[in-house]
Amino acid sequence: MKPYSMDLRERVLAAVDAKEGTQQEIAQRFCVSEVWIRKMKRQRRELGTLEPQTHRCGRKPSLDESQRKQLAELVAEDADATLKELRERLGVTCCLSVIWNALKQMGLTYKKNGQGRRARSPRRPEAASQMAATATSP
């Protein structure tokens, strides 16, 4: 839902300040709620502005911008490091999915096998040549 325009906010509070009626009458006249008018009055009193406020809730990121830059440098130094090794070198206590998501957002995704090496395709070139050789023999 889009926030109300600044023009409407200013007109409603100007009407409230001029005491052009009760808050209920002003709310009906401008098609807003009484609660919204009280909220705008409080916001003007506490913040000194009527501008729509940004969405301020939600979870804060586990890695700040400096840690993300350091993570990118670590990957540049050792591209074959596992997520666990990157977390230890970074010196943070978080789950591995935090490191994985940060790398994914930076466009640095990769897949590792259990020994910490890059995962290979299940059809390696050697296996493909062996299959081709067995297919041609009678």
pTM confidence score: 0.44
Count structural domains, the chain: 2
- Is 43 in the same domain as 70? no
pLDDT tens-place string over residues 60-90: 878 889 999 999 999 888 888 889 999 999 9
Residue 39 and residue 72 in one domain: no
Q: What is the CATH number of the domain that holds 74?
A: 1.10.10
Note down the domain range covering 70.
65-105
| 95 found inside a domain | yes
Supply the DSSP symbol for 106: T
Count of helices and strands (H, E) across the chain = 7, 0
pLDDT of 19: 94
On whether residue 97 sits in a domain, the answer given is yes
The pair of structure tokens assigned to 125 is 């070139």
Q: Which residue has the tokens 């600044």?
A: 6
Find out whether 100 and 94 touch, Cβ atoms under 8 Å. no
Lowest-pLDDT range of 10-14, 115-119, 125-129 = 125-129
The first and second tokens of residue 98, run together, are 């935090």
89 in any annotated domain: yes
pLDDT 10s digits, 10-48:
999 999 999 999 999 999 999 999 999 999 999 999 999
Q: Calculate the CA 63 to chain-centre distance.
A: 11
Q: Answer yes or no: is pLDDT of 118 > 70.
A: no
Instruction: Using the CB atoms, write b or e for 59-92: b if 16+ within 10 Å.
Output: eeeebeeebbebbeebbeeeeebbbeebbeebeb
Does residue 60 lie within any of the structural domains? no
Query: Is residue 79 a part of any domain in this protein?
Result: yes
Give the contacts of 90 (CB within 8 A, at least 6 positions apart). 67, 70, 71, 74, 99
Residue 128 has pLDDT above 50, yes or no: no
- Within a domain: residue 100? yes
Asked if residue 110 is part of any domain, the answer here is no
Residue 74 neighbours by CB under 8 Å, 6+ apart: 81, 86, 89, 90
In a domain, 10, yes or no: yes
